[in-house]
Chains A and B, each alone.
Chain A
Amino acid sequence: SAVISQKPSRDICQRGTSLTIQCQVDSQVTMMFWYRQQPGQSLTLIATANQGSEATYESGFVIDKFPISRPNLTFSTLTVSNMSPEDSSIYLCSVGGPAGGPYNEQFFGPGTRLTVL
């Protein structure tokens, strides 16, 4: 299984500011995803991070609010922009498939717990 790390593990931010979350994988992977988990809720897919091109966003999420980068096959960032208290959530990076191989298993990072005051 892939080993996924996220930075920061948690943060407390002021409204109106932005936070960039990093996701690092220990091996090259085909797919990278970003999820949000609001307090007491299940996970919601934000977007698929595509290597070398723009991310693909799910309904209800836009690039201006959640810009995503994926410069290579092992790294991605998610920025939460112009934050409000409603953005307080756990943000999770997820990866699937070895690069160039079958995409069957999908693994999740430990998450970044964000609190917006």
Chain B
Amino acid sequence: DAKTTQPPSMDCAEGRAANLPCNHSTISGNEYVYWYRQIHSQGPQYIIHGLKNNETNEMASLIITEDRKSSTLILPHATLRDTAVYYCIVRVVIQGAQKLVFGQGTRLTINP
């Protein structure tokens, strides 16, 4: 089972920052948080991942709370092309194997 909880849908105005929350209250100390997005009919696209510290790359920023029980993905200037389903994933270790277990994600709609 997925270890994350996300709102099923969100809306954001074009040009504004999109902040996507994720709860992962049962995360273990060595488990990473990953974010992917899936635009209709395409394979999921890797966005960013982190363990404890906040992370930033050319696509987004990832803010992880100090207790690691939740995180927020920030798209600083959302465009219409950012409309997609966003998945927050905790990479779990099961019997020594690392795996991404997907939840239901957040459907983000960017409005003009």
Contacts and interface: CB of A to CB of B under 8 A. Distances in A.
Interface of A: 1, 4, 31, 33, 35, 42-45, 48, 56, 90, 92, 94, 96, 103-111, 113
A86 B82 CA distance: 31
8 tightest A-B CB contacts, nearest first = A108-B43, A43-B102, A42-B102, A108-B44, A110-B43, A111-B43, A42-B104, A109-B43
A49 B43 CA distance: 18
Chain A contact residues: over half helix, strand or loop, or mixed? strand
Given A48-B97, A111-B42, A104 B49 contact: yes
11 contacts: A4-B43, A33-B100, A42-B102, A44-B102, A45-B102, A94-B100, A96-B98, A103-B98, A104-B49, A106-B46, A110-B42
Interface in B98-112: 98-105
A48 B99 contact: yes
Interface in B15-66: 32, 34, 36, 41-46, 49
B88 to A, nearest CB: 12
